[in-house]
Amino acid sequence: MDSARALSDARPTPFWLEDPGRPTAQPALVGDAHCDLLVVGGGYSGLWTALVAKERDPSLDVVLVEGQEVGWAASGRNGGFCAASLTHGFGNGLQRWPAELGRLERLGADNLDGIEATLTRYGIDAEWERTGEIDIATQPHQLDELHEVAEAVAQYGLDVTVLDRDELRAQVDSPTFLGGIWDKEGVAMVHPAKLAWGLKQACLGLGVRIFEHTPAEALREHGAGMAVRTPYGRIFAGKVALGTNAFPSLVKRVRPYIVPVYDYALMTEPLSDEQLAAIGWKGRQGLSDSANKFHYFRLSADNRILWGGYDAVYRFGGHVRHEYDQRPETFRTLARNFFTCFPQLEGVRFTNAWGGAIDTCTRFSAFFDTAYRGRVAYAAGYTGLGVGATRFGAEVMLDLLAGERTERTELEMVRRKPLPFPPEPVRWAGIGITTRSLERADRTGGERNLWLRTLDKLGLGFDS
């Protein structure tokens, strides 16, 4: 079947958010509210901040405001790869923080264990499967790069399993696969929306007051704390934590550090037993190929394949808009590439096609700081790997608001910020040149041109 036809019934909504378990929204704030800690944003970043704050101090009065509905944005529409890595992968961490990468990896592993323990503690059923992830080479130069990564990983005392072509194809069968490395412990698959909704329920259970459809419009100092304006009320808070991801930060000076980049995904109908048998995939691992423009793919609980990535789209001006969630040309490319990877699945149809904004920064991993003399903390810049790392970011924000020196706040990654993006139109032009250079590198055996090599030297980049 032609790949466009496979898309003809696809609904323009994230599969995960169609779940019948989607909770009703909490009422909006009307009037004034007072609290010790105000959390802005009802994605994982905000939810973890509220939850961990209550776990650290049950007597703390915590309010969370969400502009739309908890989990509607990236947190409810992502691929559900919950990774231990805090650095957007081992390779990026090695390039930027070689001296503290061992510590970052340990903190990341603890963080992933902490997420798993939280799900157990609050009885959250988020379809958690700790099956690991296989990073796959589909071109010979990628195989060399993967072997280099495996060697470096071993030097840090970490464990990955190198798979040759036949070993990989015994796990999951595609004629395009040449080999891979399997991180068995460091990644779990999760139902992203159920994770967000479960965290919301856990927060409510601990006494966090949540107001949905309540955008925080402005921040200002008020006495010893902060005052925050919302459409129908005000909140007076001792401290404020911002988990607003790719949306315009309430602290304006943060804005040049982040650009919203749109990432897209397809979901197939559930595979039959014969279709599943045709591709193997008994271990249900998360998979991704290792091109610059990479795909990520995984099975859902009911054996659909989520297939996402490849295009990472920045639009001039850097706005976050609902109409950007749909991009038919990207969906057609993704569908075509899906059938190239799995020709055995000829005839499978897609039920959902959607996109969402990620908060790309030039170093691809989160940065943290405070504003308003330590009363406001923020964490942003998770790029495409925030499902797990946002919990770590929540801990960092709470450490910073408490004025505590911890192992986390001592990290260079926490103390230093990335380079900001230049203003428009230079930003748009620069991202365009970078994207085209990355595409060319994928076609030419990974060869990085002068532009990419210059960016590498400056520690700058563009990724999803």
Ligand X SMILES: Cc1cc2nc3c(=O)[nH]c(=O)nc-3n(C[C@H](O)[C@H](O)[C@H](O)COP(=O)(O)OP(=O)(O)OC[C@H]3O[C@@H](n4cnc5c(N)ncnc54)[C@H](O)[C@@H]3O)c2cc1C
Q: State residue 45 phi and psi, 5-degree precision.
A: -60, -50
Residue that is written with structure tokens 């990335």 in the block: 418
By C-beta, is 263 or 395 nearer to ligand X?
263
Please list, residue by residue across 113-129, b when 16 or more beta carbons sit within 10 angstroms of its beta carbon and e when fewer do: ebbeebbeeeebebbbb
- Of the listed pieces 71-79, 203-211, 369-377, 405-413, which binds ligand X according to CB under 6 A? 71-79
Q: Report the alpha-carbon angle 294-80-25, nearest 5.
A: 135
Alpha helices (runs of H) in 156-241, residue ranges in sequence order: 165-171, 192-205
CB of 288 to ligand X, least distance (A): 9
Which residues 6+ apart lie within 8 Å of 93 measured at CB? 85, 86, 87, 101, 104, 105, 365
Of the ranges 35-43, 127-135, 330-338, 432-440, which one interacts with ligand X (CB under 6 A)? 35-43
Residue placing its CB nearer to ligand X in the complex, 132 or 384: 384
CB of 6 to ligand X, least distance (A): 19
Candidates 101-109, 173-181, 321-329, 378-386 — which segment interacts with ligand X by CB under 6 A? 378-386
44 is an interface residue for ligand X by CB under 6 A: yes
- Residue type present at position 360: T
Q: Which stretch binds ligand X (CB under 6 A): 136-144, 154-162, 202-210, 382-390?
A: 382-390
Kindly state the smallest distance separating residue 58's Cβ from ligand X, in Å.
23
Binding mask 265-294 for ligand X (x = CB under 6 A): x-----------------------------
> Which position among 384, 413, 461, 462 is part of the footprint of ligand X (CB under 6 A)?
384
The single residue among 105, 183, 263, 269 that binds ligand X, judged by CB under 6 A, is 263
**From 90, 211, 247, 297, residue interacting with ligand X (rule: CB under 6 A):** 247
How far apart are the C-alpha atoms of 107 and 38, rounded to whole Å? 26
**In this complex, which beta carbon is closest to ligand X, that of residue 96 or of residue 298?**
298
- Contact predicate 39/243, CB 8 Å: yes
Q: Do the beta carbons of residue 353 and residue 304 sit within 8 Å?
A: no
One residue of 40, 172, 376, 401 binding ligand X per CB under 6 A: 40
Number of other CB atoms surrounding residue 12 within 10 Å: 12
Least separation in angstroms between CB 80 and ligand X: 6
Residues 312 and 463: beta-carbon distance below 8 Å: yes
Which residue, 269 or 359, has its beta carbon nearer to ligand X? 359
Q: Which of 25, 26, 46, 337 binds ligand X (CB under 6 A)?
A: 46
Find, among 293, 291, 289, the residue nearest to 312 by Cα: 293
Question: What does the block give as tokens for 200?
Answer: 């919301």
Q: Judged by CB under 6 A, does residue 188 bind ligand X?
A: no
Q: Does 72 bind ligand X (CB under 6 A)?
A: yes
Among residues 67, 318, 381, 461, the one that binds ligand X under rule CB under 6 A: 67
Sole window of 68-76, 117-125, 413-421, 436-444 interacting with ligand X (rule: CB under 6 A) = 68-76
Q: For the segment 298-317, give every residue that binds ligand X (CB under 6 A).
A: 308
Encode burial over 286-305: b for 16+ CB neighbours within 10 A, e otherwise.
Answer: bbbbbbbbbbbbbbbeebbb
Torsion of CA 328, 331, 336, 338, to 10 degrees: -170
Shorter beta-carbon distance to ligand X: residue 235 or 341: 235
Candidate residues 84, 162, 240, 385; the one interacting with ligand X per rule CB under 6 A: 385
Scanning 25-33, 130-138, 240-248, 435-443 for contacts with ligand X by CB under 6 A, the matching segment is 240-248
* β-pair partners for 63: 38, 209
Could you say which residues in the range 73-132 bind ligand X, by CB under 6 A? Answer: 73-75, 77-81, 83
214, 28 in Cβ contact below 8 A?
yes
Specify whether the CB–CB gap between 213 and 28 falls below 8 A. yes
With beta carbons less than 8 A apart as the criterion, state whether 303 and 276 touch: yes
Q: Which of residues 320-359 bind ligand X (CB under 6 A)?
A: 355-356, 358
- Residues binding ligand X (CB under 6 A): 40-46, 65-68, 72-75, 77-81, 83, 215-216, 243-245, 247, 250, 263, 265, 296, 308, 355-356, 358, 382, 384-388, 390
